[in-house]
Amino acid sequence: MSPLIWYLIAYLVGGIPFGYLIAKYFAGINIKEHGSGNIGATNVLRVLKQTDPAKAKKLAAITLFLDAFKGAAVLLVAKMAGVCDATLWSIAVIAVIGHCFSPYLKLEGGKGVATTAGVLLVLVPKAVLVAIVVWFIMAKTVKISSLSSLSAIIVGILSTYVLYPNLSIHSHAPLIIIGIIVIYKHKENIFRLITGQEKRVI
């Protein structure tokens, strides 16, 4: 199958707005009109816990899982189909782009953390384990979701230079691109962090 077909599939699958769909059909809420307006698990938790904390945690966990799974699923299928490594890395980047700029939400979307974790779990699993440890430490200490996520993404990507110094594609460029996308989607959070306005939500 042509790489272009795989790229299209990655974009369309990556763009599935699970947080939006879950909040709408299981809680009757348009998540884009509440909280931060983001479709990710953090906003699902933040908004829904105001009315049903127990349900909010479950739906946020499902959102997190599905956002990660959709990126990993496309890669795993492509890998089983014998797609070359260069195309696999392109699929990973495009899946994250799909989530962040969803074709189903007029190019709006989430911040890409869970989907990034999903694709990198397939391609550089050791780095994801490092990122999870960093996220856990930050979540328990600073208790700010965006700062925990950004720290995990940055440290996780940097760790690939040590854990995977010789990637098969001879470049860490896809990882850098993914990192830039995720950081860009957090630009408002970064501004609030700098100005001391970011809320603790975890």
> What is the DSSP-derived secondary structure letter of residue 62?
H
Q: Are 148 and 135 in contact (CB under 8 A)?
A: yes
Q: What predicted TM-score, i.e. pTM, was given to this entire model?
A: 0.92
Q: Are 131 and 124 in contact (CB under 8 A)?
A: no
Per-residue tokens: 8: 């299209």
Q: What's the CA gap between 63 and 156, in Å, rounded?
A: 22
One-letter identity of residue 116: T
Residue by residue, pLDDT tens for the chain (202 residues) are 789 999 999 999 999 999 999 999 988 889 888 887 888 888 898 888 888 788 889 999 999 999 999 999 999 999 999 999 999 999 999 999 999 999 999 999 999 999 999 999 999 999 999 999 999 999 889 888 889 999 999 999 999 999 999 999 999 999 999 999 999 999 998 999 898 888 776 5
Which of 58, 5, 41, 14 minimizes the C-alpha distance to 146? 41
